[in-house]
Structure 1
């Protein structure tokens, strides 16, 4: 068992290196080998999702992010990546994922900011104001990125 875990870790490192080196096919092979050893490896599912997203296979990317989230519902990288990917096509689902990410890490100011932007675009002004307030409370430098109509309320 310990040998399998070490092999899976080595393959994950190899996959990440291949991804960074712009060898997505090699990375996919490594991620798939990891999943043969450990079908519940959230990092492998997430890595496959990123590669699918980079190659425009959004349905496959979403399915892989969802598999990672089934394994770890608080996996911040998968929550953020899927939410960001769905901003335009499924804003309600993106809002739900950003809310989960914000609940997982309340100090993630950028998550609150993105949530606020999405809520504002969805005409959910009160909720947007709350998200912007949380973002600025964590990092006051983000005030300049808050839409003008919310700045006075947020800066109080």
Structure 2
């Protein structure tokens, strides 16, 4: 039996459905917890449902993720879905750990505003790359 990745999306009526009918395309992540039209991913590593993990180093993302035995990078949650933490989102965007963990009214910032700030930001490595190319074009 095959255990391919499937993306589900919650619609405005709180119904969870496969995106595009086949679950192959995912929309953007929502910054707000409980927002409508969230995306949920469920998958296993290969046709046998085996998951290969490495606690120290995360593998690279490849273009053939649905093929069996490709060691697709993932967070193992026993075919369940979990939300990325603000720290994981910071890392994905290229920010230092706890970059958005600022004090607000003498308390640590809540997760919601942190997700919103990260969702509205641009990835640091990408913006660095764009900035260097603009500088090279203007200097060159």
Do Structure 1 and Structure 2 share a fold, with TM-score over 0.5?
A: no
What TM-score do the two structures reach when normalised by structure 2?
0.26
What TM-score do the two structures reach when normalised by structure 1?
0.24
Identify the structure with bigger relative contact order (alpha carbons < 8 Å, sequence gap 6+): 2
